[in-house]
Amino acid sequence: MSLEQVVNQLSLFITEELNLGEGVEITYHTSLNDIGIDSIAMMQLLVVVEEHFQFEFDEDLLLQGSILCISDLVDCIMAKSQIKVS
């Protein structure tokens, strides 16, 4: 799975599952705050990501508040699910 495919999948989750970011192009560098992801939407997004990619985020990572943009999420997904960049 390519980096672009992961970004596209996240974009679908955000727009279709959470009904956020309408009319905004979601890219690797998009800030989650800019597309309306608050703490509740973030938890919903993380659950969807965990279910789809079949892994769990580390609690420490979530408590640090270090997931601020799409790139942070993509990097976590790539590392946790052993996806090779193609």
- Residue 59 pLDDT exceeds 90: no
- Per-residue confidence band for 84, with pLDDT thresholds at 50, 70 and 90: low
pLDDT in tens, 25-52: 999 999 999 999 998 999 999 999 999 9
Q: What is the pTM of this model?
A: 0.85
Q: What's 84's DSSP letter?
A: P
Q: Structural domain boundaries of the chain?
A: 3-80
Mean per-residue pLDDT of the chain: 88
**CATH class as words, domain 3-80:** mainly alpha
Torsion angle, CA of 16/40/50/23, rounded to 10 degrees? 30
> Maximum distance among all alpha carbons in the chain?
33
Task: Kindly state the percentage of the chain with pLDDT values over 70.
Answer: 94
